[in-house]
Amino acid sequence: MDPLLVARLQFATTTSIHFLFVLVTLGLITLLVGLQTAWTITRKPVYQRLTRFWGSLYLINYALGIATGILMEFQFGLNWSGLSRYVGNVFGAPLAMETLVAFFLESTLLGMWIFGWHRLRPVAHLALLYGVALTAYASAFWVLVANAWLQHPVGYELRDGVAHLTDFSALLVNPTFGMAFAHVVSAAVTTGGMLMAAVSAWHLIRRTRDHLLFRTSLRLGLVTAAVGIVCVIGFGFAQFGAIGQAQPTKFDTSTPGATAQIADWTARFGPGDYTPPVLANVGLGFMILIGMALFLGVLLLPLLYRDWIIRLRVPLYLVLFALPLPFVAATLGWVAREVGRQPWAVYGLLRVADAVTPTSPGVLLTSLIGFLLLLGTLAVTNWVLIARHAGRGADNPALGRPPEPPDHRPAGRPEPLVVG
């Protein structure tokens, strides 16, 4: 078995599974900020209950998502020592910022938010949630900064065969970064809105007693998903120009720019296959198709008038069955972005074959199986817990539950006996 293929499969599975957790985390934290802000301003109980309910689902996904992130970083260091050695001086800066933001600041603020219910003033408690949201977005920001450098290396110089960062600001204005970040964030918002709408649709189909509660979250979820998918499509197509210039071989190797680029690589690195796999364009094509299908969901918004979407019931089933689509589309988009720069780990600088750790196929296959089992267990556990807690409804979830009054009875006194 080809060890390079196994290493690629391991990288693809770990990053794609972790990415699904990231989508839910970014999407739900955005909606939670809106819900708790509405509760803080209006003091309406419906917004408090929705904040507690969706906050519980967010915490499940966040906790297990951290575990998948740790596994992803572990396999990154295990299998890609060549990449770390070559670009560590550049790649390490944004990833260090992401680690400080995500694993320290974000987790600290989230912990304070969890235990701050009924202990902090409403505005202070809300400020903590805003801090969690900002650090979550900052985490995604720095990850995309690092990834954009792999797509189009800028602001560096090579010394002794190692890349060194010379201009940090160049990372922030990388042409493959800005629109990609907005595209990913919009995809996460779309996913969060679809998740909220689908869970609400499920409860409305079952005619649970919390009709008003899930009617509100259905509306919020659908509007959020509609805004998100419009932004996804806009920022997605806006990337084509910059990517076509920075990576001329990604979409079509027959263009003059791509031909010249391949000729330059052949002269520098020797003859080879510099054509990206067909999988990249396949993933891109299906991602666009799913995006357009989700865009049709905007047609459901007029049915919110007079609750026709609930009365007709069929649209509720459509929303429910459409839940997997944003996850599939996001994964296909990741495939198009990452596979499209093959055979390069760093576009035009370092080939994937030179970035992988020299390890025997048996060791790599064993680690691949181990990672698949661990990540599969985490993913299944996450969705089982989310489905279980979502199915229970919003009846007094543990998050934000008021503290029980202290028991002032003297110790040892028996309970009074009531007869009759």
Q: pLDDT tens digits, residue range 206-250? A: 988 889 999 999 999 999 999 999 999 999 999 999 998 999 998
Of residues 330 and 104, the one with the higher pLDDT is 330
Contact between residue 227 and residue 295 where contact means Cβ atoms under 8 Å apart: no
| 100 or 193, higher pLDDT | 193
Long-range contacts of 107-115 (CB under 8 A, 24+ apart): 107/66, 109/135, 110/59, 110/62, 114/59, 114/399
Helix orientation angle between 81-99 and 122-151, rounded to the nearest 10 degrees: 160
pLDDT of residue 77: 78
Q: How far is CA 294 from CA 86, 316, 324, 371, in A?
A: 41, 14, 11, 32
Q: At what angle do helices 324-339 and 278-295 cross, to 10 degrees?
A: 150
Q: pLDDT band for 31, please (50, 70, 90 cuts).
A: very high
What is the predicted pLDDT for the residue at 359? 84
3-state helix, strand, coil in the chain (%, to 5): 75, 5, 20
Q: How far apart are CA 408 and CA 211, in angstroms?
A: 39
pTM of this prediction? Answer: 0.92
Whether the predicted pLDDT of 412 surpasses 80: no
DSSP state of 306: G
Check pLDDT > 60 for residue 3: yes
Query: Span 86-102, mean pLDDT?
Result: 81
Is the model's pLDDT at 408 over the cut of 60? no
Q: Which of 61, 95, 33, 63 is nearest to 327 (CA)?
A: 61
Better-scored residue on pLDDT, 89 or 234: 234
**pLDDT on residue 411:** 56
pLDDT, tens only, 112-147: 999 999 899 999 999 999 999 999 999 999 999 999
What is the token pair recorded at 68?
A: 């998948």
> In this predicted structure, what is the pLDDT of residue 420?
42
For 320-373, the pLDDT digits (tens) are: 999 999 999 999 999 999 998 889 999 999 999 999 988 888 888 898 899 999
Q: Does position 294 have pLDDT exceeding 50, yes or no?
A: yes
Mean pLDDT of 7-24: 92
pLDDT of residue 413: 59
The Cα–Cα gap between 182 and 195 comes to 20
407 pLDDT tier (thresholds 50, 70, 90): low
Give the pLDDT confidence of 244-285 residue by residue, as tens digits: 899 999 888 888 989 999 999 999 999 988 988 888 999 999
Of the ranges 152-161, 179-188, 243-252, 403-412, which one carries the lowest mean pLDDT score? 403-412
Q: Where does the pLDDT of residue 91 fall: very low under 50, low under 70, confident under 90, or very high at 90 and above?
A: confident
Q: For position 56, what pLDDT does the model report? A: 95
Strands (E), 201-352: 344-346, 350-351
Mean pLDDT taken over the chain: 91
Indicate the pairing of strand 350-351 with strand 162-165: unpaired
Torsional sign, CA 176, 29, 168, 11: negative
Mean pLDDT throughout 39-50? 95
Report pLDDT for 409: 59
